[in-house]
Copies of this chain bind each other. A is one copy, B any other.
Amino acid sequence: MSPTYKNVHIPRATIQRLAVYLQVLESLKGENVEVVSSERLARACDVNPSQIRKDLAYFGEFGVRGVGYNVAKLIHSIKVSIGTDRIWRTALIGVGNLGRSLLRYQGFPKRGFKIVAAFDCDPFKIGEVVADLEVMCPRRMKENVKDLRIEIGIITTPSDRAQRAADYLVESGIRCILNFAAARIQVPPDIYVEYVDFFHHLYALTFKYCVGEASSTKQIGQS
C-alpha cells in the first residue's frame, strides 16, 4: 500500500511527534490495548489531543469520533505514511564506541531498520566481527551496497572523517545519510541528510533550568 502524500511539507516537529506516538502506541499494543481515545493517547505522549488530530490529519483520516483510534491500525497507518512498513537496509561507517553500540542495539528491526554491513578504514578493525557483522574496508562499499541492497548510510566516525565517510556513501550510490559525527557534511543536492546531535537536548535542559531558576529567584525577590 502506497500513501498518497496529499501534503509533502510536513513540519519536522510533526515527524518528531509521530516517533513519540509510535513509541507509545507500540507500548499500548504490548499491553493488549486495542482502542485508545485521543485524550488518553495525548496524555501518554505529553501533547494535547488537538495536536495529535492535527498531526495525523497530514496523512489522512484516522480514528472514529467518540470511539478513538484502533491501536494496531494506527501503528500500521503511521508506518505506511513515513515509509517504515518495511525494513530499510542500512550500512554503518565508523566502528568506534558509538558505532559498536548501534551495531549491538536490538531496537532497529522493530522500528523498520536493519544494519546489514559495517565499515571502518582502520586495518586493525577490518575483519573484526561486531554483532555478527564482519567489519569491512570502505573501498568494498560500492559492491556491498549493490549486493546487500543498502539504502541508508549511518556515519559514526570521528568528526574529521565524516566528510570522507559521506563521500564513500555517495559514491556507492546511497541516497539517505544519518550523520552522528559532530561535523557538517557536503553532499550533492539529491542526497538526503539528517544530523543527530543529542547536545541540543542537553542545551534545552540547561536553558530551561537557567530560565526556571532565574524566574523563581525573581519571584522570591519580589515577594
Known A-B contacts A97-B100, A184-B23, A184-B44; the reply to A178 vs B198 at CB < 8 A is yes
Segment at the interface with B among A12-20, A64-72, A116-124, A133-141? A12-20
- CB-CB < 8 A to A170: which residues of B? none
A54 at the interface (CB under 8 A from B): no
Chain B residue with the shortest CB-CB distance to A44: B184
Q: Are A201 and B209 in contact (CB under 8 A)?
A: no
The answer to whether A178 touches B202 (Cβ under 8 A) is yes
- Closest chain-B Cβ to A25's Cβ sits at a distance in Å of 12
A101 within 8 A of B: yes
Cα A159 to Cα B23 with chains together (Å): 11
Q: Which residues of B contact A35 (CB under 8 A)?
A: none
Shortest Cβ distance from residue A197 to the other chain B in the assembled complex, whole angstroms? 5
Could you tell me if B23 and A182 are in contact, using CB atoms closer than 8 angstroms?
Answer: yes
Knowing A23-B183, A201-B194, A211-B8, the reply to whether A97 touches B105 (Cβ < 8 A) is yes
**In the complex, what residues of B have CB within 8 A of residue A16's CB?**
200
Q: Is A111 an interface residue (CB 8 A)?
A: yes
- A19 CB to closest chain B CB, in angstroms? 4
Collect the chain B residues with CB atoms within 8 Å of residue A12's CB: 13, 204
Q: Which residues of B contact A111 (CB under 8 A)?
A: 199, 202
Asked if A206 is at the interface of the complex by the 8 Å CB criterion, the answer is yes
A residues sitting closer than 8 Å to B (CB atoms) are 2-3, 5, 8, 10, 12-13, 15-16, 18-20, 23-24, 27, 44-46, 81-84, 88, 97-98, 100-101, 104-105, 107, 111-113, 151-152, 159, 175-178, 180, 182-184, 192, 194-212, 214-215
